[in-house]
């Protein structure tokens, strides 16, 4: 995947707040034409994140992300990509030892996204985590993926 300069990026994280059990990313979409997902974008994203459509998702249309995936905010898509990356990571490497010792046997990840300023195209994406480094890596990889697809 080609690295995209922040000056040319479509979606950027302007800052993170790492709290116990969740990370908050303050996100900016750089142009209104990219603010909402499209079926074409989703088709490309699903090549790398094939299980997104099965994610549980609270929305006004249906019980899963599939109900809104091709016409939701780009930050909302980012949220689900970050969750999917974490699920894949923990399926591969397991649960961190300190959590396993506390009886945690699997990762259930929650997220929430909302526009903080719709006109300025800024949003707040909150995602739970088991390993903060894995979650930050998931944000980085998902942002890179979206920028590469949208700028291709």
Note the pLDDT tens digit of each residue in 99-134.
545 454 455 789 999 999 999 999 999 999 988 999
CA-CA distance, 122 to 78, in Å (whole number)? 13
Instruction: Give the residue-averaged pLDDT of 33-47.
Output: 97
Question: Is it the case that residue 85 has pLDDT exceeding 60?
Answer: yes
Q: 């591969």: which residue's tokens? A: 92
Domain boundaries defined on the chain? 11-150
The pTM of this model reads 0.90
* Contact between residue 100 and residue 131 where contact means Cβ atoms under 8 Å apart: no
Query: Beta partners for 149?
Result: none
Q: 């970050």: which residue's tokens? A: 82
Residue % of the chain over a pLDDT of 90: 76
Question: Is it the case that residue 43 has pLDDT exceeding 80?
Answer: yes
H helix count then E strand count, the chain? 4, 4
- The contacts of residue 4 (CB under 8 Å, 6+ apart) are 144, 147, 148, 151
């Amino acid at each position: 995947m080609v690295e995209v300069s922040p000056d040319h990026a479509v979606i950027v994280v302007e800052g993170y707040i790492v709290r116990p059990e969740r990370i908050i990313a303050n996100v900016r979409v750089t142009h209104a034409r990219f603010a909402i997902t499209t079926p074409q974008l989703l088709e490309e994203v699903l090549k790398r994140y094939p299980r997104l459509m099965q994610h549980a998702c609270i929305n006004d249309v249906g019980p899963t992300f599939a109900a809104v995936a091709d016409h939701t905010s780009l930050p909302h898509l980012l949220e689900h990509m970050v969750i999917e990356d974490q699920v894949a990571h923990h399926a591969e490497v397991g649960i961190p030892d300190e959590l396993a010792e506390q009886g945690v046997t699997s990762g259930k990840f929650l997220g929430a996204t909302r526009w903080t300023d719709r006109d300025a195209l800024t949003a707040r994406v909150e995602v739970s985590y088991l390993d903060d480094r894995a979650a930050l890596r998931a944000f980085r990889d998902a942002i890179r993926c979206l920028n590469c697809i949208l700028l291709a």
